[in-house]
Copies of this chain bind each other. A is one copy, B any other.
Amino acid sequence: MQKGIITLTSRPSIICGASVVGKKEMDGPLARCFDKYDLTDTFDMPTWEQSESEMQRIAFNTAMEKGGFKIHDIDAIFAGDLINQCISSGYGLANFDTQFFGLFGACSTMAESLVLGSMLVDSGKYSRVAAVTSSHNCSAERQFRFPLEYGGQRTPTAQWTVTGSAAVIIGEHSDLPYIAEVLPGRVCDKGINDSANMGAAMAPAAIDTLKRYFDESGKKPDDFSAIFTGDLGYEGSSILVDFLRSDGYDISRVHHDCGLMIYDRERQDVHAGGSGCGCCATVFAGHILPQLKEKKLKDILFIATGAMMNTASIQQGLTIPGIAHLARITVSEGDDGQNS
């Protein structure tokens, strides 16, 4: 019998998190949530790729500071990003003296790293690990679309890559909140080939993971304080809610998408919303985690989605595979679910 939901019986803690963002994010509705920012988006580095690496370094250092940790307190880092060969992580975290696992989950990276990190803490392999990721609007635009100087127009379904990085530290069961269950994603390709509509490309993966979660757990959407998706944006969120409703699960009352939370769509000209590995990572570390710590949220599903194409595969006319990793995070110590 193939594994589905994986219950973490020890309930590893999310000890602390930190977020670092750029100018547009500081102009958005969640500005107060973030730990550090640079309104020039450069973080004093000479290239956008190095700026992105620097954000990861700052985010990880800030998370360690907030938790009162030194590098020797962290057994391993799980990190990745969207830049070719994940160099934001490779360079940003190169000088830290701890075990390192490079991940590629596209915009699902924060969830993938939470899932892997928490499974390894739950099993006692590690005592304390970090999950780190980032994206930068300027490095992403020139890699995936056009150099900024070109001034290319964007389609209405396009999303705006977040300039941001976050680091989250997971440890053995101690302070709330706890990771109670994880459900890793499967690669889903439903034939979307419009790289300016990532929400539509990633939504099938979110539907697949959430439907599997509800089917197997027997829980209902309203059993949760909230269900946060990563960066489906306006397009992808509508698809998710509609398709899950036709499968018998109405998530509309509890669903929030980090891509729709981080910017003011009307005022900030971001079209279908925010995206990038840094989107749900900074919203999680800056906005969701503090609400869990204060028990304003009691039991949530965090599902980050990723689109696994590259520029060559799009030029070759291929469709876009997606993936969605899920973590159930609760303030409850025991098995009683959301009623803590």
- The distance in angstroms between the C-alpha atoms of A91 and B85, with both chains bound, is 17
> Knowing A6-B125, A75-B3, A104-B102 touch, does A316 contact B96 (C-beta < 8 A)?
no
Closest to A77 in B: B187
Contacts of A318 on B, CB cut-off 8 Å?
A: 50, 91
Number of copies: 2
7 smallest A-B Cβ distances: which pairs?
Answer: A123-B123, A90-B308, A99-B184, A85-B310, A102-B104, A3-B75, A104-B104
A162 within 8 A of B: no
- Extra 10 A-B pairs, beta carbons < 8 Å, given A91-B189, A101-B103, A103-B104: A3-B126, A85-B310, A90-B309, A91-B313, A91-B321, A94-B308, A100-B323, A102-B105, A120-B120, A123-B124
Docked complex: A175-195 residues within 8 A CB-CB of B = 184-189
Using Cβ atoms and an 8 Å threshold, which residues of chain B touch A321? Answer: 90-91, 94
Contact of A2 among B83, B87, B98, B122 (CB under 8 A): B98
Residues in B whose Cβ lies below 8 Å from that of A96: 186-187
Report the bound CA distance from A88 to B46 in whole Å: 32
> Does A171 make an interface contact (CB < 8 A)?
no
The CA-CA distance from A99 to B284 in the complex, in Å, is 23
B112 x A119 contact (CB < 8 A)? no
- For A3, list chain B residues within 8 Å (CB): 75-76, 99, 125-127
The minimal Cβ–Cβ distance linking A189 to chain B, given in whole angstroms, is 5
Known interface pairs A85-B309, A91-B321; A184-B116 also in contact (CB < 8 Å): no
The complex places the Cα of A31 from the Cα of B72 at a distance, in Å, of: 45
**Of the residues B85, B100, B312, contact of A187 by C-beta under 8 Å:** B100
Cβ contacts A106-143/B at 8 Å (1 or 0 each): 10000010001001101111110000000000000001
Q: Which residues of B contact A308 (CB under 8 A)?
A: 85-87, 90-91, 94, 102
**Contact partners of A189 in chain B: CB under 8 A:** 91, 94-95
Q: Which residues of B contact A236 (CB under 8 A)?
A: none
Within 8 A of B (CB), among A1-44: 1-3, 6
Interface size class of A (residues with CB under 8 A): 35 or more
Judging by beta carbons under 8 Å apart, are A90 and B49 in contact?
Answer: no
Once A6-B125, A120-B120 are accepted as A-B contacts, the answer to whether A313 and B49 lie under 8 Å apart by CB is yes
Q: Does A246 contact B (CB under 8 A)?
A: no
Report yes or no: A49 in contact with B125, Cβ–Cβ below 8 A: no
A209 to chain B, nearest CB (A): 10
Residues of B within 8 A of A1 (CB): 72
Interface string of A43-56 (1 = CB under 8 A from B): 00011011000000
What chain B residues lie within 8 Å of A101 (beta carbons)? 103, 105, 112, 116, 184
What is the CB-to-nearest-CB distance from A22 to chain B, in angstroms, rounded to a whole number?
Answer: 19
Does any Cβ of B come within 8 Å of A203's Cβ? Answer: no
Give Cα distance in the complex from A316 to B306, angstroms: 28
